[in-house]
Structure 1
């Protein structure tokens, strides 16, 4: 892990922003469909997509919600997400800069909160989860979709070592049991855990 994970994220994803529009992993249709299904958007919903990247989840949610706000740490990603929204003629989207550790919105503000393919970059995942729990309304939904490590500690360590070598902004993939425990400790109730496989 980088000594300054947030700066590493900004550097890594600032460089990659324009290529995200065609990234097969991030625009993977089946994975997006599953996130939207689990979020259960509805016409009056106000949704937050945390660490939105190029906005794939926000763009997929927007036709089913009143408004979607996409928040990302990296200006290049916010700019790319805005470009994609303009190209697709989607007007109920707002993309802005912000940090998962300190979400710049009041508590109980959102009906839905999504976070896709990003939690493994968070240097303080428990704090980010607490922020998700803080800003979602009582009875609202939080959907976290991320890569997970194996339950075996040695294999998990090997996977994370490889990920850091591949991507200096990587912090940690967690085993499903650990991720569930973190979500519950952050004040969320886990109703579903759905394994998916992304073709590379």
Structure 2
């Protein structure tokens, strides 16, 4: 699957949640398996303030706003499924498995998946970036750090819209969620933070 298809597919699911119906036949199967998404997404949108709701919906309905920016970023061969279960060690050698989604993607994509998908609270984001930069540069390659980090932020929007919101919103906002209230509030705080991250990155992009 092409990189942009992951993003557009995720946005199409959120569009369907907003519209209250499946916009493509394959989405109906997803909604059948996740019947709480439409109800909870309506509650979630009303929970946002007007500016947040406007920006978020603008991105959901116009994924090319981000993809056009990413089209100008550096690309490389990426694993594209780099998270904890697919990473291991063979003696002292790093081992990656499950290469079925390998393809050409933005250079920051694997690092984004790796850092966001492997719990490592002692390694701050900036430190993780530096480990990557030094590793690449030790091989004789140069990294435009400013451009790379900008791409990383754009990928954050893609991950949030394509994956995180459709998974998190039903847990916190569905009337059928079985989570205790304190856990719902914890997830809502996290959602608030990622929405702010999306808006900050969006505002940065629109100023360029």
Q: TM-score, normalised by structure 1?
A: 0.32
Higher normalized helix content (fraction of residues): 2
Name the larger-Rg structure: 2
So what's the TM-score if we normalise by structure 2?
A: 0.32
